[in-house]
Amino acid sequence: MNTTQLHSRAVLWLSVAAFSSAAANRICDPMLPSLVQHFQVSAKEASLVVSLFSVAYGFCQIIYGPLGDRVGKYRLIGIMTLLSTLGSLGAAMTGSMDGLYLFRLLAGATTAGIIPLSMAWIGDTIAYEDRQATLARFLAGQVLGVIGGQFIGGLFTDKLGYQYAFYFMALCYLLIGLGVYWESTRNTTTYHLRHQNAIHGGIVKQSLMVLSTPWARVVLFIVFMEGVLVFGPLAFIPSYLHHTAGLSLTQGGLVMMSFGVGGFSYTFFARFFVALLGEVGLSVMGGGLLGLGWLLIAAMDGWLVVIPASYLLGMGYYMIHNTMQTNATQMTPQVRGTAVSLFASLFFLGQSLGVVLSAQWLSQWHEQGLFLLVAIALPVLGALFAYLIKQHQRREAG
């Protein structure tokens, strides 16, 4: 097997690991109504199982980025995938809401070492001009995780109980983690090679280097706002369908699978979209599709409209997010692991804040107002990012 084939196999394993990470992130969305009933808590309290995962995921990036730059990203991904088994197993076995909070925190903390380090490893091993297409192939696993997580969460919660969704995730982490770790010991393309201009120093020094780069600050701000505006409201769509349209949790999860299908459609045609639209066009188009999707949901006349609307959300989100990811891998190549980890940290902290703010909104006002708000804000965010990319490209060119 030649080097190209070995590298493709390594990327495939990372994509499978990204599936487990994304599934764990979204698995609680459709089970929120069941948690409210089972533990006799409010919707706001139940939603903490989503936001606490994101908080831990975000803050633990401080550790994984510099550690990956020092000891090797690929093997660390395998180790953290294996350790992620513990959080899901604990969430399945605990009998209290506080225990569920604790193990979701643990799951977020260990899962944090998978997708960002995978992106950084791809950045280390693929030239920039080919990177967006490779990242899109890697994203296919993440997209399937979003689809699978919401479906698995709804199906197991409806048929067997929420605990079995977590048991399933624990099994996934164990098997995938063993596969990634084995790959790190057998595949020469995964072996750790230090960047020739690598910066040696502690977490603070490496993080400050990233934050001192103007373009890095732009990308980090945009991805934080994306996390707030996309995934805060998104977590409540299955619950919204459950109490307004009478859909079961499984049906709500199935409807939301169209978000992942939209994302998968982008990854399948990513090379075509990148060539046709470029980074600027993808940002504008992505923001526009996000706005249209949320507008359709806000004006929902029957639950069926949520299927094409969620498809547009998925397509638009991955258009703009893949563009952000590509830029994140090149913000500061000398400490790429740290840079991408800061990117992921701000993204997931944005998600956490978005869930909290959305829950607060929904405790006082209707869902339609929230959906309409993000329908306006996201096209503006996409257009702003497109403008800033164009300015950055001009500076780089001359």
Q: Which among 323, 303, 305, 325 has a CA at the least distance from the CA of 313? A: 305
Which segments of the chain are extended strands (E)? none
Residue spans of the domains in the chain: they are: 3-397
**Buried b / exposed e across 197-222, counting CB within 10 Å, b at 16+?**
ebeeeeeeebbebbeeeebbebbbeb
C-alpha pair distances (Å), 139 with each of 115, 144, 185: 9, 9, 24
The secondary structure of 5-51, three-state, reads HHHHHHHHHHHHHHHHHHHHHHCCHHHHHHHHHHHCCCHHHHCHHHH
Sign of the CA dihedral with 307 first, then 233, 34, and 80 last? positive
Q: Which among 170, 322, 293 has a CA at the least distance from the CA of 233? A: 293
Q: Which among 89, 93, 111, 91 has a CA at the least distance from the CA of 102? A: 91
* Residue 198 φ/ψ region, left for φ over 0, alpha for ψ in the -120 to 50 degree band, beta for the rest: beta
Cβ partners under 8 Å of residue 26, min gap 6: 145, 146, 149, 150, 153
Per-residue model confidence as pLDDT tens for the chain (398 residues): 777 788 889 999 999 999 999 999 889 988 988 999 999 998 889 989 988 998 898 888 778 877 887 788 899 999 999 999 999 999 999 989 999 999 999 999 999 989 989 988 888 888 877 887 888 888 889 888 988 888 889 889 988 999 999 999 999 999 999 999 999 988 888 886 665 555 555 677 878 888 889 999 999 999 999 999 998 898 888 888 888 888 887 787 778 788 888 988 998 888 889 889 999 999 999 999 999 999 999 987 788 899 999 999 999 999 999 999 889 888 888 778 788 888 988 988 898 899 889 988 988 888 889 999 999 999 999 999 999 999 998 988 86
Sign of the CA dihedral with 357 first, then 360, 366, and 369 last? negative
* Residue 126 φ/ψ region, left for φ over 0, alpha for ψ in the -120 to 50 degree band, beta for the rest: beta
Cβ atoms 353, 258 nearer than 8 A: no
- Please state the pTM of the whole predicted model: 0.77
Cβ atoms 112, 64 nearer than 8 A: yes
Cβ atoms 29, 51 nearer than 8 A: no
Assigned architecture for domain 3-397 = Up-down Bundle (1.20)
Question: What radius of gyration do the chain's Cα atoms show?
Answer: 20
